[in-house]
Amino acid sequence: MSRQYMEAIVKEFLKNVKKKLPEWLKEKKKEVKDILAELEEHIWEKAEELSGMAQPTEDSVRLAIAHMGTPESIAKEYKRRGTPKYYITEELWPIYTKVLTIIFLVIIAIGIFSTVFNIITGDLAEALNFFSFFTGFFSAFTIVTIIFVVLSMEGYFPEDFKSERELKKEARRLEIAQEKGLPISSRTGKPLKPFIHPVGEIIGGIVVIIIGVFLITYPIPGLVNSMNPGFLLILGVFGVVIIIEGGLDTTRGVIGNYKVKTHQIIHIITIGVKLASIPLVVILWSRPDIIPFLIWDNSTNTLVNIGVTPEFYDLCRNIMAVIIVITIITPIEDIYKIIKLEKYKVKN
């Protein structure tokens, strides 16, 4: 049997393997070429060995190909590269949830827009008809899930959707992060985005400290002379509180994107400091009479404190209540940051 005929048999087998390879791999022309070259080399060597002579025979070539397994079984191995998580691989799971979130948000936005539009046009029945809304959710969920299950079965990874240039950029970013000791996600293996902008944090912290110093030192005596000493004491204590808060912000800025645990501890202290100002507002809530109300006195050309009149006490109390509520809510941001920082602990 001629060499050309045997080569044709081998080429036919390799063609079938190429056809069965997953789509993400077919995109990588050089890798496919290498894979097929390696398989071909293997077949010829095996065929030579099976023939018992220096040259392969048609039978030995066919037998060598049979030993290789079917093109499907070879391709199947290339598809088996994701980490199973339900029916979608762990590698694709973050993209899957992200896509679903975006689509759901778009559906919600469209739903709100159409509901408002129907209310404006007086079509209340249509405004309250949420059937199409839920149909949209269900259809989107089904379609997206099916797509991702298929991609998982084909062995797609997130990087298969990126160009060579993007992958090189990412690799470079990873190298830099490793050199600088910046946190790397254990889930994606990529550098995490900086969790703090040090310069902004330092500037913000310094501004807060300056305001705190103003509250303690009363740099404009004319402004505070007429104020109630009790109110001034509260102002001073509040000044101390915000100086501490500013100091903590500045410290986080100086630490920068390192020492995650220290950042978390600072956030916990910040929560305590923020909540510490609540008793001060409660005192003002119970003693609205000490709250100053300044007016300009034309005869003396100075600001004069006339105090809050009793009819405005309720208004003052309501304002203090709102401030208390806001003060209780603001630590949520710190709690969120403490939780978010957990993922930065990895390989830090």
Partner 1 sequence: MRKIIKRVKELGPTALIASREFRNFVEKFESEINRGISTLCILSIINQAGDEGMYGYKILKELEEQTNDMLVIEEGTLYPLLRKLERDKLIKSERREFSGRPRNYYFMTENGLKIYNHINGFFSKLTESISPLMDMNVNLKEDYIYCPNCANKIDISKEDFNFCEICGLNIRDLKERRLKK
Q: Which of 6, 17, 234, 338 binds partner 1 (CB under 8 A)?
A: 17
Residue pair 293/307 in contact (Cβ under 8 Å)? The answer is yes
Q: Where are the beta strands (DSSP E) in 253-323?
A: 294-297, 302-305
Q: Is 297 left (phi over 0), alpha (psi -120 to 50) or beta?
A: beta
Query: Which residue from 6, 10, 24, 39 is in contact with partner 1, where contact means CB under 8 A?
Result: 39
46 binds partner 1 (CB under 8 A): yes
Distance of alpha carbon 142 from alpha carbon 315, whole angstroms: 53
Q: Does 169 bind partner 1 (CB under 8 A)?
A: no
d(CA 243, CA 235): 12
Toward partner 1, which CB reaches closer, 37 or 339? 37
Smallest distance from the beta carbon of 111 to partner 1, in angstroms?
A: 43
Q: Which of 15, 19, 26, 42 binds partner 1 (CB under 8 A)?
A: 42
Q: Compute how many residues bind partner 1; rule: CB under 8 A.
A: 21
As measured in angstroms, the least distance from the Cβ of 129 to partner 1 is 51
45 binds partner 1 (CB under 8 A): yes
Distance CA 258, CA 238 (A): 30
Q: Which residues are CB-neighbours of 25 under 8 A, at least 6 positions away?
A: 31, 32, 35, 78
Q: What is the distance in angstroms between the CA of the first residue and the CA of the last residue of the chain?
A: 64
The answer to whether 126 and 118 have CB atoms below 8 angstroms apart is yes
* List 7, 34, 314, 333, residue binding partner 1 (CB under 8 A): 34
The two tokens of residue 189 are 């293996």
Per-residue contact flags (x/-) with partner 1 for residues 64 to 93, judged by CB under 8 A:
---xxxx--xx--xx-xx------------
302-305/294-297 β-pairing: antiparallel
Question: Residue 242 burial (CB < 10 Å; 0-12/13-18/19+)?
Answer: buried
Choosing from 7, 12, 23, 38, the residue that interacts with partner 1 (CB under 8 A) is 38
- Nearer to partner 1 among residue 57 and residue 70 (C-beta): 70
Nearest-approach distance from CB 147 to partner 1, in angstroms? 24
Structure tokens at 287: 């003693």
Stretch that binds partner 1, among 37-45, 106-114, 122-130, 268-276 (CB under 8 A): 37-45
Which CB sits closer to partner 1, 136 or 158?
A: 158
- Which residues would be at the binding site for partner 1 (CB under 8 A)? 17, 34-35, 37-39, 41-42, 44-46, 67-70, 73-74, 77-78, 80-81
